[in-house]
Chains A and B, each alone.
Chain A
Amino acid sequence: MAFLQIAHLEKSFGTTRVVRDFDLSIEKGEFVSLLGPSGCGKTTVLRMVAGFETPSSGAIAIDGRDVIALRPNQRHIGMVFQAYALFPNLTVAENVAFGLKVKRMPADLRAARVREMLALIGLPDLGNRYPFQLSGGQQQRVALARALAIKPHVLLLDEPLSALDARIRVSLRAQIREIQRELQITTIFVTHDQEEALSISDRVVVMNGGVAEQVGTPFEIYNRPATRFVAQFVGTLNLIEADVIAPATGTVRIGTTEVSLGRPLPAGRVTLACRPEAVSLGAAEGRPLLLWAEIGKVEFLGAVIRLRAQAGRTALSLDMFNRPDTPPPAAGDRVQVSISPADLLVLEA
């Protein structure tokens, strides 16, 4: 059985169901992100795990033990909030020591643990500062140290980086992941930033409207999105409308081009989807779907160049590697682009 087991979790506020039939199993030491748009119920799930909200129904077990009836302070959980959760009247060291003090740990052990935690988060010298004397990123690191000081079994983070600048966000998320790996602590990380979720998680739960639409590794979520919502929410997606003209062989017509996808398709109209990196300039072996397109915009992103092109009524984004010896096409150029049928996802139209 998984270390953290959530089964058929439901939560309603009044008549609105904000979490619906939510299942999730997390192994010990795993780092799982809840990813979804604002209001989809991420925080509510986290707060039910923490014990701040009571589920309308369903079960939550940690290490094989049902925790539904336990109060937050009995669940051995550490939590980091979005922002401003440090106690303003206590110094950094006193904040980190708070959980140890209420657990009556002797003062010398406490001081040692505080030193250890401050070293872990890379702020060994700031113990005597007050929270208002710290930057936002430092505050969040102290909040992490405070949560980890009591050696919780599970760590919950609710958008801990969303109040920070983009640059600090990237470095701090890497640091959080590193600390999590070092301590091997089972972690749920809430975010609405897909890049953040994909870059640091073992697995990602994509939520929409209170439902877990897909649970999978970042690779699976990105390359094999299970639903149209997941496909569109995670990463950039090209959508191509197509008419199925031979369902058995999967032959479709896109504008005037006909191509076989080599798998059965439902009759009628379908929406095909592919990532920008699946679209290539020029024809090539194994890429039978060929379209003529006119280049709109050329965005230079460094190692990658993103082209925006128009093929008939279909808008396409395509990525090409930046090679100094092959300059990219210019806006207004007519080019041929090709796609491999294997890279095309079929979304119900």
Chain B
Amino acid sequence: MTDATLAEPVAPAPVAPAPVAAESPAPRPRRTAALALKWLGVAPFMIFALLFLILPTIHIVLGAFQTPEGAFTLRNLAGLAVPQVVRPFMLSIRLSLLTAGLGCLIGLILAAAVTRGGLPGWIRDAMLTFSGVASNFAGVPLAFAFIATLGRLGLVTVVLKEVFGINLAATGFNLISFAGLTLTYLYFQIPLMILIITPALDGLKREWREAAEILGASGAQYWRMVALPVLWPSLLGTFALLFANSFGAVATAMALTGSSLSIVPIILFAQIRGDVLQDPHLGYAIAFGMIVITGIANLVYIVLRSRAEKWVR
């Protein structure tokens, strides 16, 4: 969705067509051929997933439990319990919780505003289109965009100072900080929330709101007693997704803060390059920790999502 988590973005490798089952004289050749053809269609996906997702993951998980000599050990995982590792994990979790929470809240309000009706239809179209673009805007270009606007010499910073006399730096704001990173992440978190939650909001039937209203409920009561409970599984699920999305983002953080802010992806990156701790197997353990946390977030998402779909029938 945004940054590559572990591997750097890789252009899809040209994939050799899988061998077609033409060699064995099958009892029902036409059926077999049709079946083989169907599988051929998804073969590029399978091969791609194997090469760039499954194999690396297995490699990392195994590496996390191995000594450099290849023997089984728990030392790597135990090695995570040092402040240089724990602090980045906590920072990353805090950053992810915060940007996921704010992303959900602000995204929900925006999506609710355009789906409730009353606004001209083009606003909804424009916002969804923009969200589609912005939710994919990440990495170096996003960091550059923020530096160019809110950085020390950024356009907004300068205009605020020159035109309105507001000195952004004097307010304590610094783009290369936790707050700055939060703000930058929100740039793709909010649109992602809008994209995911808009269909769920569309699933709220007009009759529910009107029935609640004519039964005497205020707008707030309708949201509290009907809309939010119905949306709740989707909201929690989307929160988990936004969490994972932020937790794994590395390129944006790297490009924006260099290595001045120690969030997990950055120390991991440093680890892989061999800058700091010189222990590739500790790197595996850190990556394993990330996989576990991201995995939990996605598991929560999947479970809650399937529950959400039971309501809206």
Q: Interface residues, chain A, CB within 8 Å of chain B?
A: 50-52, 71-73, 75, 77-79, 81-82, 84-85, 87-90, 98-99, 101-103, 132, 143, 146-147, 150
B230 in contact with A89 (CB, 8 Å) = yes
B313 in contact with A78 (CB, 8 Å) = no
B207 in contact with A89 (CB, 8 Å) = no
Per-position contact with A for B189-226: 1 when CB-CB < 8 Å, else 0? 00000000000000001011011111111100100011
Q: Say which residue of A72, A84, A103 sits within 8 Å of B205 (CB atoms).
A: A84
Smallest Cβ-Cβ distance to A83: which chain B residue:
B207
A87 in contact with B208 (CB, 8 Å) = yes
Smallest Cβ-Cβ distance to A85: which chain B residue:
B207
B214 in contact with A85 (CB, 8 Å) = no
A50 in contact with B214 (CB, 8 Å) = yes
A81-B210, A98-B225 given as contacts; is B230 within 8 A of A150 (CB)? no
Q: How many Å lie between the Cα of A331 and that of B230 in the bound state?
A: 61
A81 in contact with B211 (CB, 8 Å) = yes
Q: Interface residues, chain B, CB within 8 Å of chain A?
A: 205, 207-208, 210-218, 221, 225-226, 229-230, 310-313
B311 in contact with A88 (CB, 8 Å) = yes
Please indicate the chain A residues that have their CB under 8 angstroms from the CB of B214 in the complex.
Answer: 50-51, 72-73, 75, 77-79
Smallest Cβ-Cβ distance to B210: which chain A residue:
A52
CB distance from A151 to the nearest CB of B (A): 12
A73-B217, A89-B311, A102-B216 given as contacts; is B210 within 8 A of A79 (CB)? yes
Q: Say which residue of A75, A102, A132 sits within 8 Å of B313 (CB atoms).
A: A132
Smallest Cβ-Cβ distance to B313: which chain A residue:
A132
A98-B217, A102-B216, A103-B216 given as contacts; is B210 within 8 A of A72 (CB)? yes
Q: How many Å lie between the Cα of A143 and that of B214 in the bound state?
A: 13
Smallest Cβ-Cβ distance to B217: which chain A residue:
A102
Q: How many Å lie between the Cα of A46 and that of B308 in the bound state?
A: 33
Please indicate the chain B residues that have their CB under 8 angstroms from the CB of A102 in the complex.
Answer: 212, 215-218, 221, 225
Please indicate the chain A residues that have their CB under 8 angstroms from the CB of B216 in the complex.
Answer: 73, 99, 102-103, 150
A50-B214, A99-B215 given as contacts; is B226 within 8 A of A89 (CB)? yes
Q: How many Å lie between the Cα of A103 and that of B208 in the bound state?
A: 17
Query: A87, A98, A147 — which one has the most chain B CB atoms within 10 A of its CB?
Result: A87
3 closest Cβ pairs, A-B complex? A99-B215, A85-B207, A89-B229
Please indicate the chain A residues that have their CB under 8 angstroms from the CB of B229 in the complex.
Answer: 89
A72-B210, A81-B207, A98-B225 given as contacts; is B215 within 8 A of A88 (CB)? no
Q: How many Å lie between the Cα of A90 and that of B224 in the bound state?
A: 12
B230 in contact with A73 (CB, 8 Å) = no
Please indicate the chain B residues that have their CB under 8 angstroms from the CB of A90 in the complex.
Answer: 225-226
A87 in contact with B226 (CB, 8 Å) = yes
CB distance from A42 to the nearest CB of B (A): 16
Write 28 A-B pairs (CB below 8 A) sorted by A numbering. Answer: A52-B213, A71-B213, A72-B210, A72-B214, A73-B213, A73-B215, A73-B216, A81-B207, A84-B207, A85-B207, A85-B210, A87-B208, A87-B211, A87-B212, A87-B230, A88-B312, A89-B226, A89-B311, A99-B217, A101-B225, A102-B212, A102-B215, A102-B216, A102-B217, A102-B218, A102-B225, A146-B215, A150-B215
Q: How many Å lie between the Cα of A143 and that of B207 in the bound state?
A: 11
CB distance from A92 to the nearest CB of B (A): 14
CB distance from B124 to the nearest CB of A (A): 20
Q: How many Å lie between the Cα of A90 and that of B230 in the bound state?
A: 9
Smallest Cβ-Cβ distance to A158: which chain B residue:
B207
